[in-house]
Amino acid sequence: MSIHIKGELEIEVRDRQGRIKKRHKQQMKSFVRNFLKHLKCAFQEANETGLVDTSGNTVEIYHPFAGNYHFLDVKGGEGGATKGIVIGSGTTPPTNDDYKLESQYNTSVFSYSSTSITIVDEEGYVVLRIIRTFTNVSGSSKTINEVGLICRTGSPTVTNALILIARDVLSTPITVEDGESVVIRYVIKTMA
Alpha-carbon distance of 44 to 41, in angstroms, equals: 5
In this prediction the pTM is 0.93
| pLDDT tens string 70-107 | 888 998 888 888 999 999 999 999 999 999 999 999 99
CB 102 within 8 A of CB 147: no
Taking the CA of residue 76 as centre, how many other CA atoms within 13 Å lie in the half-sphere pointing to its CB?
A: 28
pLDDT of 5 over the 90 cut? no
| pLDDT tens string 159-192 | 789 999 999 999 999 999 999 999 999 999 998 5
pLDDT of 11 over the 60 cut? yes
